[in-house]
């Protein structure tokens, strides 16, 4: 006999039994071709192996203790600034009961799974045949493909359920309802760029494009930096994106930079992808002296990736990510909560996470309608208050100099999160500025967290020169801006570690306390092709944040922080 399935506050009677099941992520709509860029391809064979991430409940008082520790160690004005927790320290702080871990673990193992409990005991990775997973989750699994691509992912084509006694110990199961956004970073044909500066790379195709030398001049980067023990950085790659050593060598040799990957976690076929090679080439263009890890996640899963990096004993200190979800309706409260918990775990350990703000302006990936202007669509995780978000700019003229907001740079105000304490004054000043020319209030949330926090070159006026698939071409997008800013902060970590100071960890309190360490951007609007957007003004704005890096000023500001305990624990 079939069990009675029960949603939160809503009963859906499927049959009769003594067993109660609870619908998970109840507000997330099941897959629909009408609102997805992914196409349902075929049913998953019964024996096909699947893997997913089960996030366990963390008791409220323990979650509050994690957030408290996160803010204390991240605020340069707090006595505990830089006193980061170890991996074991996070485990002890969360104190997830062994009984909870054992109950969920046993349930899936009895259903035919192999399980791996994460070091913090709040996540279990489950691997099992598809048919067993469908029975354990009371769902249906299918292959999905993007149109015109051979790539495929496994996701649930219906909602999923757990027995009541298991559901009350689980927040969510990842890799079921969340569909990733497919990168739209434009790979341009090799053409003459519009920049009026000498080509510092040997490749003729780099002429007029942004190169490492352009970034070094604009952002005042030092000509040489020493490698420092324990300093490290990483880029995250999803969506079938990988790199080829020959492309990295070609870029490095042409542009006089030491570009190599020191370590790869995960891995895939060595087929070059523009997103991956852009990330690698330009984070190393900024910080060639720093150990680089590529963290590859073939699950197309933000949850899986963040679990990877927070489970490492020696996780890289800086993480640059170009990632977003495809549809707003695929984001649940549980998904956001679980991601933010992981971001706090990272920050409490002294890790910095930077995300690109997106490349569709204020309307995001869903757009703002046609006949009537719909409300703006802020991006997640770009609007999370627990990470640093990087927007994009263009040069205002044809020379290396003043910048303007790139019209397609993502930015705005969150619909999920209130204004965090660290940015309240900056957001209030923006809204009070007579130059802001704010969009109609019906289009955006006046009480939400504002993003991005900072910016860097990323617009289409002068794209970045990238070596990919054996040639040089121009690539634009906030996916270019993010690794550049990440590389800058990795260099700042090097200065601090060399002086036996702790790494910077979560960056936003430092950023908002040091606005003069950035080169302000005071023109442009991120409206993309629409009438309304947010205008860049003096000070912080939701188009470019506080502006673009000034390494010399940032170095002074980062080294002037005084904390009570200078010990290094990562």
Q: 113 and 132 in contact (C-beta within 8 Å)?
A: yes
Q: Which residues contact 309 (CB under 8 A, 6 or more apart)?
A: 234, 236, 295, 315, 316, 319, 346, 351
Inter-CA distances, 526 with 359, 364, 367, 460, 481, Å = 10, 11, 13, 13, 15
Query: Annotation-wise, does 392 bind a ligand?
Result: no
- Catalytic residue of the set 237, 279, 327, 394: 279
Contact 66, 341 (CB under 8 A): yes
CA 16 vs CA 19, 129, 231: distances in Å: 9, 27, 59
φ and ψ at residue 495, rounded to 5 degrees: -60, -45
Q: Quick one: CA torsion of 40, 44, 50, 54, rounded to 10 degrees?
A: 60
Q: Is 203 helix (H, G, I), strand (E, B) or coil?
A: coil
CA distance 420 to 475: 33
CA distance 278 to 236: 12
379 marked as binding residue: no
Tokens at 355, concatenated: 């995300």
In the three-class reduction of DSSP (H, G, I as helix; E, B as strand; rest coil), residue 234 is classed as strand
CA distance 133 to 52: 9
Gap between the Cα atoms of 94 and 341, Å rounded: 11
* Residue 321 φ/ψ, nearest 5 degrees: -135, 130
Q: Name, in order, each residue with C-beta under 8 angstroms of 248's C-beta and a sequence gap of 6 or more.
A: 259, 260, 261, 277, 280, 281, 467
Residue 100 has which token pair? Answer: 């909870």
Rg of the chain (C-alpha set):
23
Angle at 284 between CA 282 and CA 286, to 5 degrees: 75
Q: Residue 492, Cβ neighbours under 10 Å: how many?
A: 26
**8 A C-beta contact, residue 103 and residue 163:** no
275 is catalytic: yes
- 539 known ligand binder: yes
Query: Prior bond to 452 cis, omega within 30?
Result: yes
Sort residue 422 into left (φ over 0), alpha (ψ -120 to 50) or beta: alpha
Annotated catalytic residue, options 247, 275, 277, 359: 275
Distance CA 233, CA 484 (A): 12
Is 479 an active-site residue?
yes
CB count within 10 Å of CB 366 equals 15
Cα 327 off chain centre by: 16
Tokens standing for residue 482: 């993010």
Catalytic residue among 479, 527, 558, 563: 479
Answer yes or no: 268 catalytic: no
What residue numbers does the annotated binding site for Ca(2+) cover?
520-521, 539, 541
* Catalytic positions, written as ranges: 275, 279, 479
Annotated binding site: 520-521, 539, 541
């Amino acid at each position: 006999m079939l069990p009675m399935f029960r949603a939160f506050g809503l009963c859906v009677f499927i049959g009769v039994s003594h067993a109660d099941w609870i619908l998970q992520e109840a507000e997330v709509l099941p897959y629909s071709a009408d609102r997805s860029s992914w196409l349902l391809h075929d049913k998953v064979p019964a024996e096909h192996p699947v893997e997913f991430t089960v996030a366990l409940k963390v008791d409220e008082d323990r979650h509050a203790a994690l957030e408290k520790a996160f803010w204390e160690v991240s605020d340069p004005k707090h006595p505990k600034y830089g006193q980061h927790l170890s991996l074991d320290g996070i485990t002890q702080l969360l104190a997830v009961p062994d009984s909870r871990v054992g109950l969920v673990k046993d349930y899936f193992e009895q259903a035919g799974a192999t399980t791996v409990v994460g070091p913090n005991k709040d996540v279990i990775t489950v691997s099992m045949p598809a048919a067993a997973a469908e029975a354990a989750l009371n769902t249906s699994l299918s292959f999905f493909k993007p149109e015109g691509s051979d790539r495929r992912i496994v996701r649930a084509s219906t909602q999923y359920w757990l027995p009541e006694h298991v559901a009350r110990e689980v927040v969510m199961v990842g890799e079921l309802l969340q569909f990733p956004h497919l990168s739209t970073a434009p790979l341009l044909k090799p053409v003459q760029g519009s920049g009026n500066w000498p080509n510092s790379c040997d490749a003729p195709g780099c002429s007029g494009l942004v190169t490492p030398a352009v970034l070094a001049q604009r952002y005042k980067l030092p000509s040489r930096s020493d490698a420092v023990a324990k300093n490290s950085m990483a880029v995250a790659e999803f969506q079938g994106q990988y790199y080829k050593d020959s492309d990295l060598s070609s870029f490095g040799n042409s542009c006089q930079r030491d570009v190599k990957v020191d370590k790869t976690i995960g891995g895939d076929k060595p087929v070059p992808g523009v997103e991956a090679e852009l990330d690698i080439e330009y984070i190393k263009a900024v910080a060639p002296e720093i150990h680089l890890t590529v963290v590859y996640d073939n699950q197309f899963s933000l949850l899986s990736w963040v679990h990877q990096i927070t489970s490492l004993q020696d996780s890289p200190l800086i993480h640059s990510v170009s990632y977003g979800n495809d549809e707003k309706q695929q984001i649940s409260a549980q998904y956001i909560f679980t991601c933010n918990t992981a971001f706090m775990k990272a920050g409490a350990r002294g890790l910095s996470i930077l995300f690109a703000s997106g490349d569709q302006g204020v309307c995001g990936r869903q757009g703002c309608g046609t006949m009537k202007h719909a409300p703006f669509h802020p991006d997640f995780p770009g609007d999370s208050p627990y990470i640093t978000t990087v927007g994009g700019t263009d040069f205002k003229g044809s020379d290396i100099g003043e910048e303007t907001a790139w019209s397609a740079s993502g930015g705005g105000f969150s619909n999920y999160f209130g204004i965090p304490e660290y940015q309240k004054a900056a957001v209030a000043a923006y809204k009070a500025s007579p130059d802001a020319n704010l969009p109609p209030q019906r289009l955006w949330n006046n009480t939400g967290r504002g993003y991005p926090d900072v910016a860097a070159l990323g617009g289409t006026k002068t794209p970045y020169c990238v070596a990919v698939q054996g040639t040089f071409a121009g690539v634009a997008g906030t996916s270019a801006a993010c690794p550049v800013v990440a590389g800058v902060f990795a260099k700042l970590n090097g200065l601090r570690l060399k002086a036996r100071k702790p790494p910077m960890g979560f960056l936003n309190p430092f950023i908002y306390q040091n606005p003069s360490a950035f080169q302000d951007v005071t023109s442009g609007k991120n409206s993309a092709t629409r009438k309304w957007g947010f205008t860049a003004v003096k000070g912080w704005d939701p188009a470019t944040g506080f502006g673009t890096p000034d390494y010399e000023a940032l170095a002074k500001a980062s080294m002037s922080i005084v904390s009570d305990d200078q010990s290094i624990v990562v």
